[in-house]
Amino acid sequence: MLNIISILVGLLSLLIVIPAQIPLLGWANWIALPFIVVGVVIGQLSSSNSGRNFCLIVLLIAAVRLTLGGGIF
């Protein structure tokens, strides 16, 4: 059950992260980061790793975008 919740939180985060890849919308990644961290924690509590791994991939995408944009753009 926790794995499904983690995947759903990851999908919600991904819905925020995808539009944030557009130039000048990078600030939306800062909104997605707390959701991603919650998804990782919930996924860690689960017996399966797929939800946690999915959230970590979304976190990697958001972190790379923030790094390339200087944290804002």
Residue 38: the pLDDT is 96
pLDDT in tens, 22-34: 988 889 999 999 9
Does residue 73 have a pLDDT over 80?
no
CB 21 within 8 A of CB 65: yes
Which tens digits make up the pLDDT trace of 63-72?
Answer: 999 999 888 7
pLDDT at 8: 97
Angle at 62 between CA 5 and CA 55, to 5 degrees: 20
pLDDT score of 45 more than 90: yes
- Indicate the range of 21-25, 29-33, 37-41, 53-57 predicted with least confidence: 21-25
